[in-house]
Structure 1
């Protein structure tokens, strides 16, 4: 009976996901990345963010609140439902860098319309003292969300298949028609990974933060692209990420178990790196 109800919940969520394919990590993933960052920023940064979020009324999005960093982390997905008001940001959530070609951000990030370019842009807006409060608030919210997006591997690399959205997939014994490889990494696998003990939301040591947060946004982009290639696609395609794609791929229980740790690591990286960027932005 319990398995039956889990299946129903999965089916409902899969339907929602299919309607919004650019939503990465669902709520749980984004909120966890944000919570890790909140635990690890300096008190000064926390106070600055809190002061901005108290002005969230300036956004004029009452159906999409941003009173806390966790709410802010899902705001950019929530406002997609508001139609033309925010549709300019639809391409900012991902960068489809082909995993079967040499890594190159130029084409996917043309005119700044990709997630890594927007992370860099948001950092500049936050640091600029001449930027109005409303725009600075939006920049913080987008930054929190986009760092999470960048660390969902199928928002950083794909095979010209919309980040795996066109790859039909089964998750263990569950194979609803609407499941695809993207939705598995977006939701089911991310939620399994995050809920696996120990908790990822903790205060990391200075040594851990220095190691995890090292590098640039482009370095992190390349790393997530490699995870998409060497883990996400390779595990779904019998070890060959650029091999033929069957009518439906299947992540069996043994494969899912092996993917938990890589998926946890991506969430951890996202949170610790977000903390670094926020501290730099509000230094």
Structure 2
């Protein structure tokens, strides 16, 4: 089903096997930027619904709600798998039976939450929770390493050294790359929004959760993993990457965060019309 420039896959999907590790993508600041910026693109009716469900001004409320799904993982560990998808790195196409068995992955969860949010006969508390998941998970599917099965636990097993820092590829993309978005949330939103044209919004908002996740899987293959083939390997098997690596990739991360915000607004405008 496609309406305007947003379509929702309504068929049942299946769940991802349990995944270990932290839940938050893009760091809390990245999620907050996505939530606040998306609020600026809401229709009047969607904005009113968001404010009724979350309370307060939509931009403030969506910024606050953006990390809720990460914060509760420790209390609800069964939700951790909802923050990932396991598309094989060399495949690129989503297969629900293979990549999301049982319905426990980001694509399936977002689809279920869209249906719940759009159903105004459901209790307010359940709709508000669905909204908070959508705000967070839209960010998750735009962090490329979260949506691929790369044989390295989403990059966690790829040890990386740049400068004096020893970490892993997953954490570089979760923390080091978005760290350069410097400024307050409002300042970052203003800076990124200034680069988004009407043509960007029109193009980015067209698609489905599946298509957007597949797009991120392609980014993981081409712009992350393929880029590492030339990296020097140290005697301890760590990859030695340039000190500039996070800076180089921040431009891509900024665009992915912007896409997530535009697409989140499109989804909410569709569900809350």
What's the Cα RMSD here? 2.5
Cα gap change, 1:51/1:174 in structure 2, threshold over 3 Å: closer, same or farther? farther
- Whether contact under 8 Å (2:94, 2:210) holds in the other structure is no
- Whether contact under 8 Å (2:92, 2:217) holds in the other structure is no
- Whether contact under 8 Å (2:23, 2:73) holds in the other structure is no
Show CA shifts across 1:176-233 (max 9, x none): 3xx1101110111022256698711459554331111111111111100000010111
Structure (1/2) with the larger strand percentage: 2
- Describe how 1:203-218 pairs up with structure 2 within 5 A: 204-218=196-210
What is aligned with 2:155? 164
Which residue of 73, 78, 81 maps to 1:80?
A: 73
Which residue of 225, 242, 251 maps to 1:233?
A: 225
- 2:229 and 2:30 map into 1 onto residues whose CA distance is 25
1:280: Cα distance to partner? Answer: 0.6
- Mapped pair 1:184 → 2:172: yes
Indicate the SS of the match to 1:90: helix
Cα gap change, 1:116/1:257 in structure 2, threshold over 3 Å: closer, same or farther? same
- 1:194 and 1:100 map into 2 onto residues whose CA distance is 34
- Describe how 1:41-80 pairs up with structure 2 within 5 A: 41-54=42-55, 68-80=61-73
- 1:78 and 1:141 map into 2 onto residues whose CA distance is 11
- Describe how 1:116-155 pairs up with structure 2 within 5 A: 116-155=107-146
TM-score (norm 1): 0.78
What is aligned with 1:31? 32
Show CA shifts across 1:58-80 (max 9, x none): xxxxxxxxx72111110011112
What is aligned with 2:7? none
- Whether contact under 8 Å (1:156, 1:225) holds in the other structure is yes
Indicate the SS of the match to 1:103: coil
1:132: Cα distance to partner? Answer: 1.0
1:140: Cα distance to partner? Answer: 0.1
